[in-house]
Amino acid sequence: MNNDSLVRPLVSLVGAGPGDPELITVKGLDRLLEADIVLYDALVSPELLEHARMGAELIYAGKHPGRHSISQEAIHALLVKHVQAGRRVVRLKGGDPYIFGKGAEEALFLKARGIRVEVIPGITSAVAVPAAAGIPLTHRGISSSFAVMTGHRTEDNRPVLVPQADTLVYLMCVSNLENIVRSIAGERGQWDLPCAVIESGTTKRQKVITGALRNIVGRSKRAKLEPPAVLVVGEVVRLRGPLR
Ligand SMILES: C[S@@+](CC[C@H](N)C(=O)[O-])C[C@H]1O[C@@H](n2cnc3c(N)ncnc32)[C@H](O)[C@@H]1O
């Protein structure tokens, strides 16, 4: 322990992994076991929270339809309040804290106030969810690159980004699936590209819908697809048959 760690309070920003509670890192689990306060997001598994020590305060800080949600400013204020009161604070986020998780925003806010932040990376759903469903994002001779994008709907419903990569992965894709699929087909000129949508990947509720760009929207509607889900597009989806 150096002088710095004796003097300045510390917030641990921990990645919880993609859903399966066993997919947190050893270091992340250690911090959870020691925490006095755990501020956790909507996608964190309830089973994982059972590892917090007796007496630790668990605060839901997620944004989820149908549940009371808390503003980003209120989350910042809670982190500052608890860490300055000398408590061991864990900010627990689904997947990896720095992938579409506002983790860096929170770290910058805390650092600007002289609070130390340690980041414990997590396994992101962007790679783990396809893998657990039997889809590798790269494969020799088929895919030597992948790109991860947000599929979030913009207010003016703009086309989504379609980079030059062999495999495309879209997070936050459910409400905007039709637009995403149209954007990719428009860019690539191919409606036959294989694709898969994976809901609640790595958990017991995992649902996998496969198809091609031309039929994935209809299949997803029939399967009553719901968030959280990841869309994977590319030839690697065909490997799911032999790999699963
Ligand atoms: C706000 S982003 C946070 C991503 C997270 N930081 C990560 O690294 O996985 C939430 C999105 O992650 C994806 N996601 C997270 N967990 C998932 C899961 N178990 N199954 C499918 N998609 C998941 C979904 O696209 C969801 O809308």
Q: Which residue has the tokens 């989806």?
A: 237
Q: How do residues 63-98 score in pLDDT, each as one tens digit? A: 766 566 789 999 999 999 999 999 999 999 999 999
Annotated active-site residue 20? The verdict is no
Q: How do residues 117-138 score in pLDDT, each as one tens digit? A: 999 999 999 999 999 999 999 9
Percent of the chain with pLDDT over 90: 88
Which residue out of 20, 41, 93, 96 is catalytically annotated?
Answer: 41
Q: Using alpha carbons, select from 75, 83, 92 the residue that is nearest to residue 116.
A: 83
Distance in angstroms (rounded) separating the CA atoms of residues 209 and 231: 10
Ligand 1, atom 12, residue with closest C-alpha: 171
Q: Are strands 116-120 and 146-150 parallel, antiparallel or unpaired?
A: unpaired
Q: CA angle at residue 42 from 236 to 222, to 5 degrees?
A: 50
Report the pLDDT averaged over residues 163-171.
98
CA of 94 to the centre of ligand 1 (A): 7
Contacts of 95 (CB under 8 A, 6+ apart): 15, 16, 17, 18, 43, 101, 122, 123, 124, 125, 126, 128
Side chain identity, residue 59:
I
Q: How do residues 188-227 score in pLDDT, each as one tens digit? A: 999 999 999 999 999 999 999 999 999 999 999 999 999 9
Distance in angstroms (rounded) separating the CA atoms of residues 66 and 236: 36
Half-sphere CA count of 212, side-chain side, radius 13 A: 7
3-state SS class at 60: strand
List the structure tokens of 216.
């994935």
Which residue out of 63, 102, 166, 207 is catalytically annotated?
Answer: 63
Annotated active-site residue 221? The verdict is no
Atom of ligand 1 nearest to the CA of 198: 21
Tell me the average pLDDT of the chain.
94
In order, the DSSP letters of 84-129 are HTT--EEEEESB-TTSSSSHHHHHHHHHHTT-EEEEE----HHHHH
The pLDDT score that the predictor gives to residue 128 is: 98
The pLDDT score that the predictor gives to residue 213 is: 98
Distance in angstroms (rounded) separating the CA atoms of residues 143 and 136: 9
The pLDDT score that the predictor gives to residue 241 is: 85
What residue spans of 35-85 are helical by DSSP H?
46-49, 72-84
Q: Are the C-beta atoms of 165 and 146 separated by less than 8 Å?
A: yes
pTM above 0.85, yes or no: yes
Residues whose beta carbon lies within 6 Å of some atom of ligand 1: 18-19, 43, 93-96, 99-101, 124-126, 129, 171-173, 198, 200-203, 227-230
The pLDDT score that the predictor gives to residue 156 is: 85
Atom of ligand 1 nearest to the CA of 201: 20
Above 90 in pLDDT, residue 232?
yes
Q: Using alpha carbons, select from 181, 177, 207, 176 the residue that is nearest to residue 194.
A: 181
Annotated active-site residue 36? The verdict is no
